Structures are given as structure tokens and as C-alpha cells.
Structure 1
Amino acid sequence: MRLHSMSSDSPISSPDSQPESPVSDLIDLTLLLSDELLLRVLSKFPDCERNLNFLVCKRWLNLQGRLVRSLRVTDFDFLLSGRLVLRFPNLNQVDLVSGCWVSSRNSSILMSHGVLSMHIDPWLLLYSNVGEKIVLESVLIDRGLKVLANGCPNLRKLSLVGGSEFGLLNVAKECELLQELELHKCSDCMLQGIAAFENLQILKLVGNVDGFFSSAVTDIGLTMVARGCRRLVKLELSGCEGSFDGIKAIGQCCPMLEELTLCDHRMDDGWLGGLQYCENLKTLKIISCKRIDANPGPDEYLSSCPALERLHLQNSQLRDSESVRALFMTCGAAREIFIRDCWGLDDDMFGFANNCWRVKMLLLEGCSVLTTEGLESVVLQWKELQSLEVESCKNIKDSCISPALSEVFSVLKNLKWRPDTKSLLSSSLVETCMGKKGGRFF
């Protein structure tokens, strides 16, 4: 744009003369750059600025779409129309969970559950399983999966709700690099198509969700997973059924399995015995489970997982002494134990942790029944303990710390001691060598 001087020396233009158009002097220099070179330039932009580049022109709109790798789809029609794969051809992570529902945008009722939220009609609240009424038909979901698989062959991660084995077969055929799969409202019939995913490493199966939808994953489905996905590294079973046979099949056929997560499981009695076949299992997580194993069976059927390093217990009920004892017996080789907000964990229950004599790190959070005496009876037996964290455990008191326990504190590399908001180290610990070895904070 040219700037005209406003001084008196400047010539006065005649009324008949036409001013020069500033637009005519503008030239888009980016037209001189190839798409590949311009993509390299746009990829260097920060994320906060990169998302606004599509407003410049249609060319930048198309190029910006080629830079997007991860996308969460909320409108399934956008996928069915083919516009999604045309707009974003290089996607490798797609989340279809929020888009697989018949959502009523005009409704004032917003329902949220886990990772999804949607507007639903009031009359749907009369049904016990709301999700059964508002999930899209399997035919539509399978059609969308076929469009996605044909348009994005480099897909690495996929999450969806519903569908059938035919939709999974289409994805497995076109997306050979798929490594992570998350299936909600999953059933044994749907898992018939999972054997085609030869390179699958991370799998999450969500079967039954109370009050939302009901779907059964039993030993039949677990056996299909075991025989088809032999490269599994992480497996999460949420609301799934099964028994000793299903866990045994997973352990025997998936030698690379390192992490197993059970969330709100419906496992039959005796499933803990199948963990001994998971020879390379390093992490076991039990989350939001109403019970562990009501009848684990005789001790001779329970063997310790040889490679297990970490045990996570969170929001679960630990009221049955037999199941808790069997759990700690199975996890006898654990080096790290994390227990958060578990009901029923008293001194007797925690005493079974003496079987895990190789523990180096212990975290207790929200264990309101456990006392200082119960903690001391176990910690004194762990000769390799290096890190201890205690938070929000109101019955663990500073005044009950014995000289033997304070001696253990003095040699720890890490100590985080906040059993309650009023917790202070008692004056009896002043004489010890607390704080002179390793690194710790209170």
C-alpha cells in the first residue's frame, strides 16, 4: 500500500484522476512455494497459531488439514459423507466415541459418563439402560468405519462405540499399522473380527456399564483376543465377565503382555489363579471393583507372577480377607504397591501384604481405617523399602509412631507423610537422624 503525504507541498490531485487501488499492489508470495515446502513452514507454527491458518485461504485450509494427526469426531454424519477423510487425509488417531450416539441438541438435559457427554430427550430417562436407546445402528457404524479405513490407511489408534465384526474386519484389512483399539459396548460376537489385527498392542474392552448399556464379554471373547492379538502389551477389561480359563488363555497366547487392568469386573470365582500364566506381566491394576475374587481356591493353585513389579488398587472394596490374601500372594514379587481410596482395608487386611517382602515403594491414600500399628507391622518386615507416601489416612497418627518406625523413616530415600491436615512430626523424632540421609520432604 502506498502512503500519500498530507503536507502542503504535495500536489493536489484533480477530481478526474482515479486513485490507485491498494489491492492491485498486493501479491501472494506464498504461491511461489510448493505445497511440500509450505507444509514444512506451517508445521513450525505453535499450536495456538496453527489452528487459525485455515482462515487465510482455501489452499491453506487444505494444507492445514494435512497437518492434523489426531481428531475427536462428534458428528458421525461428517464421517459418513466422506468430508472427514477428504479434509484430514493424514489422520492416525481418531476418537469416534462421542459421535456414535443419537444426540438431541435441542434438549436441555446433558448426560455425562466417563469420556462422553450428550444431550438426551427426557423420555429416555425412563429406561434403565439409556445407552441402549441412543447408540447408532451397527450398520451405520460399520459403514463409517469402512469410509475411515479407506481414507486413512495409516491409522494407529481408534476408539468407537458399538459396531460389529464386519466393521472391524474392514479396519483391519486397510489399516495394517493399527496399534491401539478401544471398543465400548463390546460383545463376544463383535470380537470375532479382532483376530485380523496382527499388530495390535494396546486394547481396551468396555462391556457392561451399569445404568448405561449392557454387553457381555466372556471367556469366549477373551479366547478370541488371545489367539488373534498375540502382540498385546496392554489390556484393559472394563465391565467384562470371564474366569480362570479366559485369563489363562490371555497369559499363554500373549507372551508380550506387560500391563493388565481390570475395572468393575464381573469375573467368576477363581480367576486370580490364571495370572500365574502371564509370565511377563509387570503391572496389575484393579480399579472400581466391588470384589476381588470371592473364592480364589486352595493355595496350591495360586502362584506368584514372577515378573510383576507394580500393583495398583483404586476405589475398590477390600472387605473379603480370603480374596485380599490371595491377591497379595499372587503379587508376592511386587516392588511397588499403590493403594488409593479402597474401602475395608484395615490392619488385618493390610497385614497380608507381608507376602510382598520385596516392596521398595508404598503409597497409601484415602485408607481411613488403617492405623499406625497396622502400617508399622508391615513396614518393619520390608527390608528393601526405599519410598513411603501416606496421605489422607486419618487413623494414622503422629503420636503413635514408635522408635522402630522412626528408624525406618530415617533411612528412606523418599518420605511423604501427610496422613491428615494437622499432621506434624512428634517431638520424639527430634533425637533421631531424620532428614540427614537421602532426600525426603514432609
Structure 2
Amino acid sequence: MSALKENVDPPLKKKKPPRWSDIWLKNTKPLKHLVFSMPLQSQTLIPNFPNIDRTLLLSDELLLDVLSRLPLSQRNPNSLVCKRWLNLQGRLVRSLKILDWEFLDSGRLFTRFPNLTHVDLLNGCLFSPRDSGILLTHRLVSVHMSSVFCPNCKFLQENMLPVQVVDKGLQALANGCPNLRRLVVINASEFGLLTVAEECSTLQELELHKCNDNVLRGIAACENLQILRLVANVDGLYASVVTDIGLTILAQGCKRLVKLELNGCEGSFDGIKAIGQCCLMLEELTICDHKMDDGWLAGLSYCENLKTLKLLSCRRIDSSPGRDEYLGFCPALERLHLQKCQFRSKKSVRALFRVCETVRDIVIQDCWGLDNDMFKFASVCRRVKLFSLEGCSLLTTEGLEAVILSWQDLESLTVVSCKNINESDISPALATLFAILKELRWRPDANSLLVSSLVGTCMGQRGGRFFKKT
């Protein structure tokens, strides 16, 4: 019994399922064949792999040309495709508004957007709470503000970056964007602007906020500057002073100016005269909320090539313009635009139209104090072809008719929101004028029926009849 051994079958071992790594390593020959053949057959193999980026076959220059032809609305989605497209889209960006100053100070701006030509630093120079739901909007700037606000203080002036920090940023910008063509900045000094002028020889447009006479010394080196916007003082936001000294420095340094806008600037006849004598290419002058001394209007006659004059939000024109023989006129002036101005003095309004007697287009919008007695001075402008009147409630139909009938070349007339101009007062002479106008927009009030009554007539055709024949 002891010699007999019990035959016991050993336990069966379960076979392990094959692993993907074993199968992969046992079949290396086809893999090697595939790897070595890819460089030679890449064009035939790529269609079998839809996840491979086919744009890798395109050079950066060719892909940039493709991306540049796409609509601007697709710019942000395209930059999310991959890092390469992000960098390429950055090279296509030419204009940028900086909201975070650290983005400029760290140098990431120039790495991300190396080809910038238009940079707006206005909001980046201001301390503004991003999570605030209060938005302060002005014609010149929009910025978020905290709930604690004193109406008597200069809000933006107390929330600006120091001048030294702004100048340092301008120096970095000048070095990183040598092809800069347009710049918007606030609270800079003459040293920061001088750096931009020296490094960015292609700078053509500059918008400068909170500037003074000393700051204007820095832009005198901008030899190719063509468009300049100076904002010295804005009530409730910030305050600075530009006088005749600064205007003279500006005139002698920027002789290629084509457009000039002065906001809240002081000065007088001497400053405007210097601009007219030195800036011979000046074609458009905009004066907004000026603080100029009496007699400045006479300086406009020295702007011999001026074609457009705009007065915006001026509380007064010129209280003492002087005698007519000293006023002169602008020989090349074609357009006069008056918006939100206050006509307080007949003498100043008379002098204004006297200086602008050669204009062909007159636009008056939301101006306070314009009545029949003041508007009659516009009859001195004999060459008017286009006249637009909007939001002037003191002018009557009689006062309007007395002037526009004297304009023999009038072709286009617009009258909107002038409640004292009534259709019932339209004379036969004025109706005849309406018939021969090339363009008429007549809506003095909400109850105006003239436009609907002209449907089906020959209005709008030079020499056409006022009523359609039946």
C-alpha cells in the first residue's frame, strides 16, 4: 500500500490573456517597414490618418496669407486651434487697446503681437476696478469706477499711473514697435514722448490726454505727424493747461499736420496764428470746449489751406472778436460744423460766419441760442450748397426762409427736430425752392406731413415740378 502512490492530477493553470505590448513587440517587422517608409510615402499615408494636422505642410508665410483673408469675426476662434495658429494670428494683429499695464511692462505684448502699428494705452494707464458694474462714459473715454465717487474731484486724475511709469512703458513700446503709426496715451511727459518720436519715425497719428506746454516739447520731434488730438482739460475728469506757448511749440515742430483737434485748450490769437503760419498742410481744425481768450477767431484767417472747421461743445465762440477789417476769412474753407455750442453773443456769431464766408457745407446740430437774429448772419455765406439744421428750437420758419432763399446754389437741405419751424408757415417761394432741391430731408417735428405728401412727386430732381401732373 505504501508503494502505491495516488495518482492526483495537478491543478490546471489558467492562461493569461495576451497583452497589447506582447503583440506589438512580436510584430516589429511591419512596424519598422512603416516607420522607414513614412518619409518617402508621407503624402500617401496622411489621408489615412485624419487626426494629423495637414497645415503642417504649409509654410508660415503661406498660412499667414490664408488666415489674413478670413473675416475678422473668425480671428479669435482661429487662434484657439493650436499654438502655431495662436502665434500666427498674433502676427496679423495691427491694432490693440491695452487694458492691463503689466502686459506691456512684462514684454509679453511684443512677443504675442510683434507687428503692432496702432496702440491705445489710455485705459491701461488708469486704475480701474474690473469687477465694477459702474461704467463712466465720456465722449473721450469710458472707464469702470467704484461706487465711492465725489462729483467735485478729478476722478481720472486721482486714478492714473505715475508719469515715470508711463514714460517707462513708452520707452519699451518704442523699442518693441518701431513701426508704430498711431498712439493714444495719457499722463506722459516730454521725455517719454521724445523717445517715441526718435524711435518711431513712422508715427503719423497721436492722441494725447492730460497734456501741457512742457509735454508738447516732446512731440515737436515727430516730423511725420499728420493727425494730432490734444486733450488738456476735461471737467470732472482731469485738468491741465495748454497755452499759446504750447501751441507755438507744436506749430514749429509738427509742420506736416493735416488734422488738428484741440480739447479744453487755452490760447489766443497768437497761438492760432502760429498754427496757421507754420502748418501749411492743415486741412481740418476741430476746437472743443475751448478756454481761449477773446480775439482768437481772427487767427483762423492765417490757415490758408483749411477746408474743415468744427466747433464742438463750446460754451462761447468769441466774446470780443474785433473789427471786421482785422478778422479776415479762410479762403479755402468748405465745411463748417457746429455741434452743441452756445450762441450767447450776436457779435461772436456774426464774426464766425464772416470768417467762414466761403463755406459750401454748413451743419448746425443741437446748438443753444440760435434764433432768427443770429441765423441771419449766415446769409454772408453765398456759396452754400448743403445745409443741415438739427435740434435748434428757437429758429422759426420765417428766419430759416430769409437765409436759405439767399443761397442761390443750395442743393441739399435737412431740417430735423426744430419745433418752431412749422409747415403751415411755408411760403410759395420756399415751396418752389423745395421743388428744385436735389435732396430734402424735412422733419422739424414728429407731426410733419410734408414728407408723406411728397410721395409720388418729382422731388429730388433738379428743376422738377413740386406737384405731379394728373
TM-score by length of 1: 0.91
Q: Residue in 2 aligned with 1:342?
A: 367
Q: Show the counterpart of 2:357.
A: 332
Partner Cα separation in structure 1 for residue 119 and residue 283 of structure 2: 25
Residue 170 of structure 1 aligns with which residue? 195
| Counterpart in the other structure of 2:237 | 212
Q: State how far apart, in whole Å, the 1-side matches of 2:153 and 2:347 are.
A: 34
2 CA distance for matches of 1:435 and 1:31?
59
Aligned to 2:100: 75
The alignment-based identity, stated in percent, is 64
CA distance in 2, matches of 1:364, 1:330: 20
Provide, for residues 298-336 of structure 1, a one-character-per-residue CA deviation record: whole Å limited to 9, x for no partner: 111111110000000000111210000000000000111
Which amino acid is 1:184 matched to? H
**Contact 2:437–2:460 (8 Å) recurs in 1:** no
Greater mean deviation of Cα atoms: 98-107 or 345-354: 98-107
If you compute each CA radius of gyration, which structure gives the higher value, 1 or 2? Answer: 2
Compute the displacement of 1:24 (Å): 7.8
Q: Which runs of 5+ in 1 are unaligned?
A: 1-13
Cα deviation for residue 429 of structure 1 reads 9.4
1:20-419 equivalences under 5 Å are 26-107=51-132, 109-123=134-148, 125=150, 128-419=153-444
- Equivalent position SS for 1:148: helix
TM-score (norm 2): 0.86
What does 1:420-439 correspond to in 2, within 5 Å? 420-425=445-450, 437=462
Q: From the superposition, tell whether residues 221 and 382 of structure 1 become closer, same or farther in structure 2 (CA, over 3 Å).
A: same
Distance 1:419 1:110, change over 3 A: closer
Displacement of 1:194: 0.8
Change (3 A) 1:117 1:437: closer
Question: Which string of whole-angstrom CA distances, capped at 9 and with x for unpartnered residues, describes residues 31-88 of structure 1?
Answer: 2222111111111222121222221221111111000011011111111111111110
3-state DSSP class of the match of 2:69?
coil
Q: Report the alpha carbon displacement of residue 131 of structure 1 after superposing the two structures with TM.
A: 1.6
Q: CA RMSD in A?
A: 2.5
Cα distance change, pair 86–424 in 1 and its aligned pair in 2 (3 A): same
Aligned-residue offset at 1:251: 0.1
Displacement of 1:124 in angstroms is: 5.1
Q: Take 1:337 and 1:153, find their aligned partners in 2: how far apart are those partners? A: 41
Alpha-carbon spacing, 1:390–1:195, altered in 2? closer, same or farther (3 Å): same
> Would the aligned equivalents of 2:282 and 2:306 in 1 still touch at CA under 8 Å?
yes
Q: How big is the shift at 1:281?
A: 0.3
Supply the AA of the counterpart residue of 2:308.
T
> What's the secondary structure of 1:62's corresponding residue?
helix
Contact 1:414 1:439 in 2 (8 A): no
Residues 327 and 355 in structure 2, CA contact (< 8 A), matched pair in contact too: yes
The alignment covers a number of residue pairs equal to: 426
Which ranges of structure 2 fall in alignment gaps of 5 or more residues?
A: 1-15, 25-47
Task: Return the alpha-carbon distance in structure 2 between the equivalents of residues 429 and 55 of structure 1.
Answer: 55
Amino acid at match of 2:85: W
2:44 alignment partner in structure 1: none
d(CA) in 2 for partners of 1:47 and 1:332? 45
Task: Give 1:222's aligned amino acid.
Answer: L
Q: What is the identity, as a one-letter code, of the residue corresponding to 2:93? A: V
